[in-house]
Structure 1
Amino acid sequence: MYYQPHNIKHGKEFLQPSIDFDDNKRTSYLNYTYRLRNIRTRSSSIYTEQVSKIRMSNTFVTDPSKCAEHTFLVYSCDYSRSCGGMGDRQRGIVSSFILALITARVFIIDFEKPCELDNFLKPTVYDWTICKRFIKNEKNALTIDMMNKSSMGIDMNNLRFNLWHWKVVFVKINSNLIYQLRKIKDIRTNYGWLLNMSIPSAYNMILNLLFQPKDTLMSFLDNLIDQNVKEKYLVCCHIRVGKNPSIPQDNAFGEFEKPNETIVFKYLKRYTDPDKYVIYLASDSLYVRSEFWKIFKNGIHIDVPIIHVDRLGTHKHNEKEACDGLKYVLIEQYLLSTCDILILTADSGFGKYAAYLRGSSDNLFLIQLNDSQVITTKLRYI
């Protein structure tokens, strides 16, 4: 039975038991789950019909010499203002991409903070880099700043797409506009897939159409899985605590708005059999991560820097450190997307989109913020 987080009553009866996999099916299940090469290929085989529609639109450019013939919509993240964390940025990218399709503009990602996104990710089906140099020099441009605006407070009609005469429209945004974009009159006729697809499926499709890790990320993931997981189940947990000594610039959460790691660790102790499970913890707190390593001998130990990709603090003055922060955020998110058991902090975009990339509600759990109980959930509820 699944529970919506906002409808759950308090009490131990809602704490779900650990998953006991059928060992007779163990080998085939693991082989399917841990072949990380599906990260490289999954976008090429999913949603064939939708990919075909995107290819046929005039927003798809394959020849850089043809850039001057098109108009553009650019997701923009630079040092001129805050872009938010990785979850905020992925919301903005997905919203901007759909907006580009609707307005028949070529979609470009201009992601500079803390360093270029294409250092680590490359296009899959849709090339968001091909005209990037061209748009940098274009003077006939408009910037629309919708950062930190509630998606329900953004009126699509006020944007007046049909009157846009600019060659390039830069968009700064961290909201999910799918609900609002569905209200546009011609959506049902031209973009029926956007109406009929769930939010998790839409994000899964678009993020996979746009991105796949470059070899430097894939090599890290391949080595990590090969050295630590092998024929065991990978249990993953994301604990986000907000402002703490590791990221002092982050937003401070209230006492009942962040998970209690002690309660979460108690739950994780059901997965301590080293012959069957390995556990990976992703966290924005060095303290939480250190405590986890002390307790769990079957925990994966990766001593990577904890850096918020937007609230860089002192790392802002060290380009390599800041860029490494982005690299490891992406590595962790892709790793979470491959886990057999995934436990997430409620209301964290980073974890939510890892689950969307994972694409399954199987063995998906949520840490409730009010009492840190761990409950079974589904993608549509996180």
Structure 2
Amino acid sequence: MIVISILWIFVLSIIITNSTVKSVSRIQNPIVTKPWTLLSRNNARLDRLFKKYHSLLNIEAFKTNHLSNKTIIYSCQSFCGGWGDRLRGIMSAYVLALLANRRFMIDMNYPCEISKVVQPNYINWTHIKYDKSKNRSQLNINTMRSWQTAYRGQISDIIKSKNFVEVWSEYDDISISTNGDYMTPALRNNYMKNRTRQLLGSMPLSHATMQTLFDLLFELLFKPSALVRNRVDSILANVYHRHLLCLHIRVGKNPTNPFDHAFTARVNTTQAMIDFTDDYILNKSLPVIFVTSDSGQAVSDVLQHYPNSSMTIVGPILHIDRFDRRSSTLCDGFIKAIADFYLLGECQTSILSNSGFSSWANRRREHPYQDFYSYNEKLRAIRKN
């Protein structure tokens, strides 16, 4: 009886302790997440970023979407590049809106609504269509077309060296379609000195570039949709507490991606990455290998080479700007692409092709330059970055 009583007291104490811990966690954080989920990792990432930047930047100024009746809208209705190009344009339009004290919005429905893949986080950039009867004045800036060199140069000059807030003041809504980096020159515009200092706080202006601020700005703007989280979590659940090695194989035009540019120097990319990974594995504890590519053959080659230790996110492979418009799987392909992007930000080792897509994804890693390798097209081999 004594033994049973002691055992019962011990069990009861565990139940009470666990209940107390769960109650406290619910009070402190109403959304209880599993440590391997994308949501949990993103929350931890934001905590790190806020600690990193709180003494440098005026983060509250970045988190505020101005209540002004005037707007700057990043627009993507047709040709506007891949995800890497779009992120460059989105960041540019966002910082221009901050400097001009305008409300920032995103209008992207190509190849399908942006809300399918990402949603507003700290900044509500949801696009609001104003009543046309209000006769709002509009300025449309589209510098996606590379052959418009004079026009592109004119816009760049305005943003770099003119008082663009004053130049554009007569317009209620400014719609911008671009893949250019307007953020870096805008922050260095002499007419923007006061507003720039309000944003940057004690950060040296020389450090304020799109590359250095991308990790923070991306998280302030976006959180992954449930559809994207579900795809990513299916991988993370199997790699928790294991070393995740990621391959991004961008080969260009191929049977899976027939409308893209041809990159003849990349024909050996898949084999080069497999050979390098073989050597890497010999010197490291066995990793889990995640592979994503614009080529179904490349993915198949990696999965077959590492049948017991490789994974991919299942779904149609899609270049989100160069696709067959008759396809019925465009949105599903878009969801897979952004799930791949998020997962590339969770890798301990990254082996990447030359691509804006995976380059921006890599900047979301906790240590972007640690165990980071890329395919050198001139040498046709993998090199450490």
Smaller-chain TM-score bracket: 0.7 to 0.9
* Secondary structure of residue in 1 paired with 2:338: helix
Aligned with 2:249 (options 234, 239, 250): 239
* Secondary structure of residue in 2 paired with 1:143: strand
TM-score, normalised by the number of residues in structure 1: 0.78
Distance 1:373 1:188, change over 3 A: farther
Q: Could you tell me which residue of structure 2 aligns to residue 230 of structure 1?
A: 240
Which AA in structure 1 matches 2:116?
A: N
Aligned with 1:180 (options 163, 182, 185): 185
Offset, 1:367: 1.4
1:364 matches 2:372: yes
1:38 matches 2:41: yes
* Secondary structure of residue in 1 paired with 2:311: coil
Offset, 1:213: 0.6
Deviations 1:293-337 (A, max 9, x none): 111121114432111111112xx124x511111101100000000
Partners of 2:36 and 2:233 within 8 A in 1: no
Which AA in structure 2 matches 1:234?
A: L
Q: Could you tell me which residue of structure 2 aligns to residue 51 of structure 1?
A: 59
Which AA in structure 2 matches 1:38?
A: R
Distance 1:285 1:136, change over 3 A: farther
CA RMSD for the aligned pairs? 2.8
Distance 1:184 1:321, change over 3 A: same
Aligned with 1:267 (options 239, 253, 276): 276
Specify which structure has the bigger relative contact order, considering alpha-carbon pairs within 8 angstroms and separated by 6 or more residues: 1
Deviations 1:331-376 (A, max 9, x none): 0000000001011112x10011101122422211121111232222
Q: Distance in 1 between matches of 2:267 and 2:220?
A: 33
Q: Could you tell me which residue of structure 2 aligns to residue 162 of structure 1?
A: 166
Offset, 1:183: 3.1
1:70 matches 2:69: yes
Partners of 1:40 and 1:212 within 8 A in 2: no
Structure 1 alignment gaps of length 5 or more: 1-31, 62-68, 378-382
Which AA in structure 1 matches 2:344?
A: L
Q: Distance in 1 between matches of 2:292 and 2:45?
A: 24
1:287 matches 2:292: no
* Secondary structure of residue in 1 paired with 2:188: coil
Which AA in structure 1 matches 2:88?
A: R
Q: Could you tell me which residue of structure 1 aligns to residue 129 of structure 2?
A: 133
* Secondary structure of residue in 2 paired with 1:281: strand
Aligned with 2:336 (options 318, 328, 335): 328
Which AA in structure 1 matches 2:218?
A: L
Q: Which moved more, 1:38-47 or 1:106-115?
A: 38-47
* Secondary structure of residue in 2 paired with 1:169: strand
Which AA in structure 2 matches 1:112?
A: N
Q: Distance in 1 between matches of 2:239 and 2:163?
A: 49
Offset, 1:168: 0.5
Q: Could you tell me which residue of structure 2 aligns to residue 146 of structure 1?
A: 143
Which AA in structure 2 matches 1:176?
A: D
Count residues in correspondence. Answer: 328
Q: Distance in 1 between matches of 2:243 and 2:131?
A: 46
* Secondary structure of residue in 1 paired with 2:272: helix
Q: Distance in 2 between matches of 1:287 and 1:216?
A: 25
Which AA in structure 1 matches 2:221?
A: L
Structure 2 alignment gaps of length 5 or more: 1-33
* Secondary structure of residue in 1 paired with 2:174: strand
* Secondary structure of residue in 2 paired with 1:256: helix
Q: Distance in 1 between matches of 2:36 and 2:74?
A: 32
* Secondary structure of residue in 2 paired with 1:358: coil
